[in-house]
């Protein structure tokens, strides 16, 4: 779950050299895998979530929000030993907040402008779930494999996705020729051998090979290494303001790399953009669209959502309009 708290900062606390934040409004929304699901729903797809939440008020509220959207929640398990993952972002609304009188090295870093993130609070557990819960998740996924068009692993390194789960799902999905798309994090990165595609960001790709990607040539070397080591059909690396890079091989084995420019005209908040990219890329592949076209659609959708505050979605109308604005080729 994502929570946003807006307010103003007009003074410093007399108790300590910290800003006093006066809250004016708040909002909750879907984050993580729930954001992937709402992006699929927003574009006309259907989504079923398999995952873990806490047995708490936040978990109940998240289920309610997902049910209202039409997301299947019957296979979301409650774990009494962990809280529902929640990220709270505190955002300053005032035009400026001057902290120049504070004794810090760089006061410019503390000058807050409208919509500036002051603080993020994470409430979550990274402990591995129990063997019993892992079995419940695997059984849930297997029970739906014959009726779905694609599977997304939204892996956030929170102890829910295990190597055993990955291997079992990949083996079952192969027999049905179902594409599996993964938005990975560090811990399980190299355990996704045999999936269809990965959608890591630039930093995650570098961390996977324990290298800092310094230029495009280096990026291509890293991308090819990931593509081949995991036996992927395609690899889509997101690169923030530099767009995306798609890696795949032709039928004769020739490496193909396509760099897609960013399509965003205005960046308001990059939160959840990776979720949107994974969702749209998956929808396109599920519809048997080629990976190049799928990547272009994903890039367009990502450009749409970064122009909105928080974990946002793109609508079919917005995506169609973005396609219409592309130069004719």
Q: Do residues 58 and 86 make contact, with C-beta atoms less than 8 angstroms apart?
A: yes
Long-range pairs for 287-296: beta carbons < 8 A, 24 or more residues apart: 287/149, 291/197, 291/233, 291/234, 291/236, 291/246, 291/248, 292/246, 292/248, 292/258, 295/234, 295/236, 295/244, 295/246, 295/258, 295/260, 296/260
Residues 6+ apart with CB under 8 A from 290: none
Q: How many CB atoms lie within 10 A of CB 35?
A: 27
58 noted as active-site residue: no
Q: What is the DSSP string of 240-307?
A: GGG-EEEEEE-TT--EEEEEEPP--S--S--TTHHHHHHHHHHHHHHTT--HHHHHHHHHHHHHHHTT
Helix (H) or strand (E) holding 40: helix 33-42
Q: How many CB atoms lie within 10 A of CB 270?
A: 15
Of 79, 155, 269, 275, which one is the catalytic site residue? 275
Tell me the CB-side half-sphere exposure of residue 61, using CA atoms within 13 A: 15
- Active-site positions? 275
């Amino acid at each position: 779950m994502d929570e946003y708290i807006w307010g103003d900062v007009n003074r410093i606390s007399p108790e300590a050299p910290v800003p006093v934040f006066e809250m004016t409004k708040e909002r909750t929304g879907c984050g993580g895998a729930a954001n992937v699901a709402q992006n699929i729903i927003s574009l006309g797809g259907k989504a079923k979530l398999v995952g873990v939440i806490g047995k708490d008020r936040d978990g109940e509220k998240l289920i309610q929000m997902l049910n209202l959207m039409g997301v299947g929640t019957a296979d979301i398990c409650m774990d009494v030993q962990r809280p529902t993952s929640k990220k709270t972002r505190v955002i300053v609304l005032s035009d400026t907040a001057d902290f120049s009188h504070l004794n810090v090295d760089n006061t410019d870093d503390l000058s807050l402008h409208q919509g500036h993130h002051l603080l993020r609070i994470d409430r979550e557990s990274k402990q591995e779930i129990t063997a019993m819960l892992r079995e419940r998740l695997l059984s849930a996924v297997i029970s739906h494999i014959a009726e779905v068009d694609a599977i997304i692993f939204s892996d956030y390194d929170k102890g829910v996705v295990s190597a055993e789960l990955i291997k079992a799902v990949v083996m079952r999905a192969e027999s049905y020729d179902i594409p599996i798309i993964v938005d990975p994090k560090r811990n399980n990165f190299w355990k996704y051998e045999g999936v269809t595609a990965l959608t890591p960001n630039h930093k995650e790709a570098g961390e996977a090979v324990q290298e800092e990607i310094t230029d495009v040539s280096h990026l291509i070397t890293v991308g090819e290494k990931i593509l081949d080591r995991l036996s992927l059909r395609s690899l889509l690396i997101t690169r923030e303001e530099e767009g995306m890079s798609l890696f795949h091989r032709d039928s004769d084995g020739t490496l193909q790399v396509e760099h897609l420019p960013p399509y965003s005209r205005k960046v308001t908040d990059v939160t959840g953009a990776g979720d949107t990219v994974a969702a749209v890329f998956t929808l396109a592949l599920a519809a048997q669209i080629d990976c190049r076209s799928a990547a272009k659609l994903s890039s367009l959708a990502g450009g749409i959502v970064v122009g909105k505050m928080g974990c946002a979605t793109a609508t079919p109308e917005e995506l169609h309009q973005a396609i219409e604005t592309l130069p004719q080729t």
